[in-house]
Every structure is written in C-alpha cells, then in structure tokens.
Structure 1
C-alpha cells in the first residue's frame, strides 16, 4: 500500500455543480486512470453520461489535463490547504457528438465575400 504522503485527495465538480469524491489517488496514477474511475463512479441519474475516458476532459488550474500526465504533475502550483481535496472540473464531450458537429460545419454552403475599394 502506498505511503500516506503518496496519496492525493481529488474531488470532481460536474456540469450541474454536483461532485464526485473526494477520492484518494496515488500521485503516480495517470489522468487516464483517474478518468476511468470517474466514469465508474458517475451518478446514474444524470442526463449526460460519458461512455469512454475520451468523452471526459479534466480541468485543473484552468488547464485541460493530458491523459499521460500523472496526478503529481497536475497538482496546482499554488499553496494547497493541508488535508484539503484538490477540486478538478469535469467536462463531458461525447466523441460521437463531436464528429457530428464537425460534419455539420463541413456541410454548410460556402459563401464568397468580396470587397471593392474605389
């Protein structure tokens, strides 16, 4: 079992203001592992439910966290409260919805624009 100092307590704020956690993670856990846990803990009564880890984006300190980064690398650089949980925001963007949006943009008719300066 990891030492007490090796654990980081994280809380995840969902789109409607509700939270998942706080949950303790090893500081060596990757963001991808954290996303998988979030999906498994996701409340079943929500309108939007992510299906895979790529449907979820984690935001901490105003930055979107990369899947290969560890929890230790994502800690905020400013002072934390001792014994307090780090809150990360969760954004759900299903990959199927993203591809439909991209397709719609491509299907829009392209209109030309011209200017004449006399």
Structure 2
C-alpha cells in the first residue's frame, strides 16, 4: 500500500502521555488498534489494561466500535495532509464475577437516623 494512503494515529492515555504515533492502513479495524495499544502500553503506568476489551477508543467525541475501520472512524477535519490523528484511550476493566453478598445480622444492621424539626 502506498505510504500516502496510510493514516498516522497516536493514542492519548489518561495521564496525558501518548502511545505512538503509528501508521495504519485505512482498512485496519478498531480491534486491531486496541490490540496494538495493549502490546505497546507503557510498563510504568498504574492502570494497565489486561486485554483489548478493557479499552475504549474515543475520536471526535465518539466511542469507536470494534468492527469499524480507521477510514470509517476518521472525522472529516482529519483529512489535512500529513496530520496525526489523536484518539483518546479509556481503560475500563471488564466486570469481574459478582462477589457473594454478606448477610447482615440484626446487630450489624445499619442504624437509621431520624431528623425532626420543631418550630416554635
């Protein structure tokens, strides 16, 4: 594929640092982008995604769907020549199995407080 057809993307993390920029074909999917982000994730970060499903990509205020291609996700104003498109990365871990709830004994039941007002 000719180099001028490639799209240059970088990914902004929660702390303002970036992953990339990398060049992608317009036919690359959002899923492929997420896999690359996970593999290139900086090791010194406090929040680390375990898999690509833990990541959401946002471009031009929209959460991108996994099956969409880069060409479908580009905002019209990103068609400037040789511009780098910045996408925001949100880490949202997959929900884990629900923890069993503890039964609350009468002694452990939270105390209800009541408030009353008297107007004289």
TM range (shorter): 0.7 to 0.9
Instruction: Kindly indicate whether residue 54 of structure 2 is the aligned counterpart of residue 28 of structure 1.
Output: no
Q: Distance in 2 between matches of 1:89 and 1:67?
A: 15
Q: Please list every run of 5 or more consecutive structure 1 residues that lacks an aligned counterpart in the other structure.
A: 105-118
Aligned with 1:16: secondary structure? coil
Question: Residue 83 of structure 1 corresponds to which residue in structure 2?
Answer: 82
Q: TM-score w.r.t. structure 1 length?
A: 0.78
Higher gyration radius (CA)? 2
Q: Structure 1 residues 60, 79: closer, same or farther in 2, change over 3 A?
A: closer
Measure how far apart 1:82 and its partner are: 1.8
In the TM superposition, what whole-angstrom CA distance separates every residue of 1:40-96 from its partner, at most 9, and x where no partner exists?
Answer: 000000000001111000000000000000001001112543212000000000103
Instruction: Kindly indicate whether residue 48 of structure 2 is the aligned counterpart of residue 68 of structure 1.
Output: no
Q: Please list every run of 5 or more consecutive structure 2 residues that lacks an aligned counterpart in the other structure.
A: 102-120
Q: Distance in 2 between matches of 1:79 and 1:71?
A: 12
Question: Residue 48 of structure 1 corresponds to which residue in structure 2?
Answer: 47
Question: Residue 11 of structure 1 corresponds to which residue in structure 2?
Answer: 10
Runs of 4+ in 1 over 6 A off after TM superposition: none
Q: Structure 1 residues 93, 65: closer, same or farther in 2, change over 3 A?
A: same
Q: Distance in 1 between matches of 2:50 and 2:5?
A: 30
- Number of residue pairs aligned between Structure 1 and Structure 2: 101
Q: TM-score w.r.t. structure 2 length?
A: 0.77
